[in-house]
Amino acid sequence: MPLPEDLQNRISSLVEDNDIVLFMKGNRMMPQCGFSGKVVQMLDGLLPEYHTVDVLSDPEIRDGIKEFSQWPTIPQLYLKGEFVGGCDIISDLYNSGELHTKLGLEAPSRSIPNIEVTPAAAERFREFLERAPDKGLALSIDARNEPSLGLAPPQGSEIVAESNGIKVYMDVGTAARAEGTRIDAVEQNGGVGFKVDVPSTNAPAGAAPTVKQASASEVKKMIGDGVKMAFFDVRSPEEQAIASIGARLLDEDAAREIETMPRDTKLVFHCHHGGRSQGAAEHFARLGFTDVTNMAGGIDAWANDVDPSIPRY
């Protein structure tokens, strides 16, 4: 169905009036889906400024941009009026250096950085990876040198470092920032979390946010034992409609509400596979929350290990 003329003109103006515009879920500071967050991280490492359009706040744009671009998914990137593609295409262009060239930047190096995964962290990662054999340990270090960890299926274009038998998958931007990074397991509030020290960061030693990791079974036990906690789902409303385990959707209202909570509130986050929720958990840990947990493996692990009646997608 052709777009209404007024909507066609609105989208055309956004594309033509901005050299670089990203149609995404959420905004640059708080992406609301992992794909949007991934593209934001890549662009943040390359550009000081670019325009974003939050399609969640504008349903007409959300549906219209798909028809306008003849592309079925969000996010979508335009450079100087030219449609570039969605997350997978942007990632491929980024890792190959073609995106840098399109932006007039020097192509990136694909050198493998030296990374240390301590024996204690490696042992814990093996437990998670054994339950998710199709996934690998993904490390991201954004343009502010803030690190995050998660489990994600390897795409084949990553740079891969190995330490203590654990392969660490990175995009080219992360690899350029990761030399000398140390990943360790630490005890916090009776649980185990991971600490990522990036030597190039300007933050003082020990300032990296610590987020505990819990399996789906461990989170289920917390719920069954009546542990007082705030449980949040870091997926899109569409994903939650497909499969839900009772967590509250982390939308803008929920995020503002969390910020008013006491800093010792127990926060638990989950998403599809654990990557988006890790990023959300680290965000609130940086705000001073001291008891923050990521459900490793996400709702997919819940369906596999806890409740097979939960739909998998």
Task: List, as one string, the DSSP characters of 249-269.
Answer: E--HHHHHHHHTS-TT-EEEE
Kindly report the pTM of this predicted structure: 0.57
Residue with tokens 């819990």: 214
Window from 5-19, 74-88, 206-220 with minimum mean pLDDT: 206-220
Q: What is the pLDDT of residue 178?
A: 93
Q: What is the pLDDT of residue 204?
A: 38
Tell me what the mean pLDDT of segment 227-241 comes to: 91
Residue with tokens 């649980």: 191
- 239-259 confidence digits (pLDDT tens): 899 999 999 998 878 888 998
Task: Quote the CA–CA distance of 248 and 233 in Å, as a whole number.
Answer: 6
Tell me the pLDDT band of 47, cut-offs 50, 70 and 90: confident
> In degrees, to the nearest 5, what angle opens at C-alpha 230 toward C-alphas 220 and 150?
65
27 pLDDT more than 80: no
More confident residue, 190 or 14: 14
Q: Backbone dihedral region of 274: left (phi > 0), alpha (psi from -120 to 50 degrees) or beta? A: left
β-bridge pairing 51-54 and 20-24: parallel
Residues of the chain with CATH 2.60.300.12: 110-179
Domain 5-102 has CATH 2.70.70.10: no
Q: What is the pLDDT of residue 65?
A: 97
Q: Which CATH class is domain 209-313?
A: alpha beta
Residues of the chain with CATH 3.40.250.10: 209-313
Kindly provide the b/e burial profile for residues 163-192, where b requires at least 16 CB atoms within 10 angstroms of the residue's own CB: beebebbbbbbbbbbbeebebbbeebeeeb
Residues of the chain with CATH 3.40.30.10: 5-102
List of long-range contacts for 43-48, beta carbons under 8 Å, 24+ apart: 43/77, 44/142, 44/143, 44/144, 45/142, 45/143, 45/173, 46/99, 46/100, 46/103, 46/105, 46/173, 47/20, 47/103
Q: What is the pLDDT of residue 209?
A: 57
- 181-197 confidence digits (pLDDT tens): 999 998 766 677 888 99
Q: Is residue 169 a contact partner of residue 135, using CB atoms and an 8 Å limit?
A: no
Q: In the CATH scheme, what architecture does the domain 110-179 have?
A: Sandwich (2.60)
